[in-house]
């Protein structure tokens, strides 16, 4: 069964601190893995995408890693800002004849406090 | 680049009433379209996807239906809403088979009372 598990479910950190979010998946056949940021009441927005051969990808203060052997990914946020408060969703993709089919993790809700 | 519009943004409906949520896409043609539901504190669940006009696939049995009357229009409907239909509904599009990027609309918050 295709599953994506994220941890922790929620996290509170102080502004300026770093944090790391985890994602484990069992999706097969694997195409790629994305991290999305979803602000409350808004649609998700893609932060990073990594294919099987990539093991790290950065986007400003966000750095994602991927270990395709252990089927684990992490999202590291550096020098957090109040605007980082959101849900972060790990999404693993497989491709079939309907286009790309996504399996979503339950998300990690991050709150950055001043 | 594509833009996805959804309306209404929020909706409060009584149990047993009908539902119609609309999604339209600009900036691309012949997209794959998707309806997702996100329950409070939960991940996104794929409800329907469409690879073309009139072509709808359902991922889960439910009280909802979808239609695609035009290439860039995707409608989510129900004849009689249930309490369990409450949630945040997201429309998404991708630009073709093998293309991996899905772009999401702003969502519709549905509350069934």
Q: Do B97 and A107 touch (CB under 8 A)?
A: no
Q: What is the phi/psi pair of residue B71, to 5°?
A: -55, -40
pLDDT of residue A8: 94
Asked if A90 and A71 count as a contact pair (C-beta separation under 8 A), the reply is no
A→B contacts (Cβ < 8 Å), by residue, are 4, 31-32, 41-46, 49, 89, 93, 95, 97-102, 104-107, 109
Which residues of B fall within a CB distance of 8 Å from A32? 100
Distance to chain B for A44, nearest Cα, Å:
6
Which residues of B fall within a CB distance of 8 Å from A93? 100
Closest C-alpha among B32, B77, B6, B26 to residue A43? B6
Per-residue pLDDT tens over the stretch A86-95: 999 999 887 6
Average pLDDT, 10 consecutive residues per value, chain B (113 residues): 91 96 93 88 84 85 89 96 94 71 90 95
For residue A98, pLDDT over 70 is answered with no
pLDDT of residue A80: 97
- pLDDT higher for B61 or A68? A68
The tokens for B6 are 């959804």
DSSP string, A51-99: ETT--EEEETTEEEEEETTTTEEEEEE-S--GGG-EEEEEEEEEEETTE
Parallel, antiparallel, or unpaired: how do β-strands B103-104 and B87-94 relate?
antiparallel
pLDDT of residue B98: 47
Per-residue pLDDT tens over the stretch A16-37: 999 999 999 997 778 889 999 9
Q: Do A99 and B90 touch (CB under 8 A)?
A: no
């Amino acid at each position: 069964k295709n599953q994506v598990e994220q941890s922790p479910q929620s996290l509170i950190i102080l502004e300026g601190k770093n944090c790391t979010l985890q994602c484990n998946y069992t999706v097969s056949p694997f195409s790629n893995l994305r991290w999305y940021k979803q602000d409350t009441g808004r649609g998700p927005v893609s932060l990073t995408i990594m294919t099987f051969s990539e093991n790290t990808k950065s986007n400003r203060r966000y750095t994602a890693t991927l270990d395709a052997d252990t089927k684990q990914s992490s999202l590291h946020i550096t020098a957090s800002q109040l605007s980082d408060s959101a849900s972060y969703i790990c999404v693993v993709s497989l491709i079939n004849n309907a286009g790309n089919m996504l399996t979503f993790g339950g998300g990690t809700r991050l709150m950055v406090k001043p | 680049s594509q833009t996805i519009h959804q309306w209404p943004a929020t909706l409060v409906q009584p149990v047993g009433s009908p539902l119609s949520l609309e999604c339209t896409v600009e900036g691309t043609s012949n997209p794959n379209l998707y309806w997702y539901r996100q329950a409070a504190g939960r991940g996104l669940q794929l409800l329907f996807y469409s690879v073309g006009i009139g072509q709808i696939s359902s991922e889960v049995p439910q009280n909802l239906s979808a239609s695609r009357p035009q290439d860039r229009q995707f409608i989510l409907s129900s004849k009689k809403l249930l309490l369990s239909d409450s949630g945040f509904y997201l429309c998404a599009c991708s630009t073709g088979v093998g293309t991996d990027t899905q772009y999401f609309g702003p969502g519709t918050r549905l509350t069934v009372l």
